[in-house]
Amino acid sequence: MIGIFGGTFDPVHYGHLRSALEVSEIAGLSEVRFIPCHRPPHRETPGATPRQRLEMLKIALENAPPSFRIDTREMERPGPSFMVDTLRSLRDEMGLRPMALILGADAFRGLERWHQWPDLFDLAHLLIMQRPGESSDWPQALADIFKEREAPGMPSLHERPQGLITSISVTPLAISASQIRSRLKAGKSVRFLTPDSVIERIRAWRLYSCGENETPPEA
Ligand code: ATP
């Protein structure tokens, strides 16, 4: 089963990397496909350009397991990056192979705002990662869907191509890209929140107001 990990990655951090690794082990994924969005439909414009976010992701994955791959289809597609379009194009390529969308609990909570969200279940399973500070007290429609579609066990996800949901416990890491951006803006260190190679790139490109008026954080 292939895992699809979409995100803005503005910037990528250890919360993404470690959670992806644990989900991959627990769900028995043959591949984790990181798909950086070009233009996120549900949030403000990212602080870094699509190219810069992609480059940071590439650097972060340099020493990652070979099953961690980057897919640039959203970067190449004009218009807003709707996940449902991405999953449709992946499904066309994958035939009936099981495919699972990996989502943090915060992202799942906002699922009803996603373009054509009920169609997601016709295309992939959903693996929901717990995230610190997020309860699993979902809005009613999502709680109902969860109940209806909850996977009876991990093997069941491998037995059909799509349509089931499961929640996966990962080591809780309260790291977020917004926290990293605001620490940089305040001239604080972000070391050990994201790989040093990503921090070096942030400094070199002076991203997220880093180094504009403040001393750059130590790498
Ligand atoms: P921001 O703080 O800017 O909203 P983010 O840290 O949530 O960004 P995204 O690129 O928006 O990062 O997230 C991509 C996916 O990774 C989402 O499904 C999100 O829920 C999940 N995710 C991000 N950080 C973590 C974390 N620390 N633990 C588990 N999942 C995470």
At 24, list the tokens.
């991959």
3-state secondary structure of 145: helix
On the 0-12 / 13-18 / 19+ scale of CB atoms within 10 A, 123 is buried
Cα(10) to centroid(ligand 1), Å: 9
- Decide: 24 in ligand 1 pocket, CB within 6 A: no
Q: Is 129 in the pocket of ligand 1 (CB under 6 A)?
A: yes
Kind and range of the H or E element at 6?
strand 2-7
Question: Does the beta carbon of 177 sit less than 6 angstroms from any atom of ligand 1?
Answer: yes
Tell me the pLDDT of the chain (219 aa) as tens digits.
999 999 999 999 999 999 999 999 999 999 999 999 998 776 677 789 999 999 999 999 999 999 999 999 999 998 899 999 999 999 999 999 999 999 999 999 999 999 999 999 999 999 999 888 777 788 999 999 999 999 999 999 999 999 999 999 999 999 999 999 999 999 999 999 999 999 999 999 999 986 554 454 454
Are the beta carbons of 67 and 32 closer than 8 angstroms? Answer: yes
Look at residue 49 and give its three-state secondary structure: coil
Q: Is the CB of 100 under 6 A from ligand 1?
A: no
Question: Tell me, what's the pLDDT at 132?
Answer: 80
- pTM (2 d.p.): 0.94
Domains and CATH numbers, the chain: 2-169 (3.40.50.620)
What does the pLDDT read at residue 46? Answer: 75
Asked if residues 99 and 91 have their Cβ atoms less than 8 Å apart, the reply is: yes
Q: How many angstroms is it from 104 CA to the middle of ligand 1?
A: 6
Residue nearest to atom 15 of ligand 1 (CA): 7
Partners of 104 in beta bridges: 129
